[in-house]
Amino acid sequence: MRITEYMYGGTNGEFIEFTNVGSAAIDMTNWSFSDNAEMPGAVSLTGGEPVEWLRTSNPAEVVEVSASIALRRAVASELRAEAHADLADLHGWENRHAWAIVDRFRWAARGVRQLADLERDALLRRLYGIVLCEKFGARLAEQHRGALDARRLRRVLDFVEVHLTTELTLVRLAQTACLSTYHFARAFKAAMGVTPHQYVAARRLEQARLRIQTTSERIEAIAQDVGYSNISHFRRQFRARIGFLPSAARVQI
Q: What are phi and psi of 14, to 5 degrees?
A: -75, 160
Backbone angles phi, psi at 46, to 5 degrees: -130, 140
DSSP string, 157-210: HHHHHHTTTS---HHHHHHHHTS-HHHHHHHHHHHHSS-HHHHHHHHHHHHHHH
pLDDT at 109 over 80: no
| Cα–Cα distance, 3 to 23 (Å, whole number) | 17
- DSSP sequence for 69-87: HHHHHHHHHHTT-GGGTT-
Average pLDDT over every residue of 23-40? 55
* Range 46-57 average pLDDT: 63
Please determine, looking at this structure, whether the domain spanning 198-251 carries the CATH number 1.10.10: yes
What distance in Å separates the CA atoms of residue 124 and residue 119, rounded to the nearest whole number?
8
Question: Where residue 75 falls among pLDDT bands split at 50, 70, 90?
Answer: confident
Give me the chain's average pLDDT, please. Answer: 78
Closest by alpha carbon to 148, among 107, 108, 102, 199?
199
Quick check: 118 pLDDT over 50? yes
Q: How many CB atoms lie within 10 A of CB 66?
A: 12
H or E element, residue 29: none
Report the C-alpha gap between 105 and 103 in whole angstroms: 5
Q: Please report the sign of the dihedral spanned by the C-alpha atoms of residue 115, residue 120, residue 124, residue 125.
A: negative
pTM of structure = 0.68
pLDDT by residue (tens digit) across 169-178? 999 999 999 9
Question: Dihedrals φ, ψ of 198, to 5°?
Answer: -65, -40
Q: Assess contact for 141 and 74: CB atoms under 8 A.
A: no
Whole-angstrom Cα distance, residue 219 to residue 231?
9
Among the listed ranges 37-41, 43-47, 188-192, which one has the minimum average pLDDT value?
A: 37-41
CA distances from 61 to 38, 39, 130, 207 (A): 12, 12, 22, 15
Specify which residues 34 forms β-bridges with: 54
E-assigned strand segments in the chain? 2-8, 15-18, 22-25, 32-34, 43-45, 52-54, 60-66, 90-93
Residues with Cβ within 8 Å of residue 148, at least 6 apart in sequence: 156, 177, 184, 187, 188, 190, 191
Domains of the chain by residue range: 2-136, 150-193, 198-251
| Neighbour count for residue 25 (Cβ, 10 Å) | 9
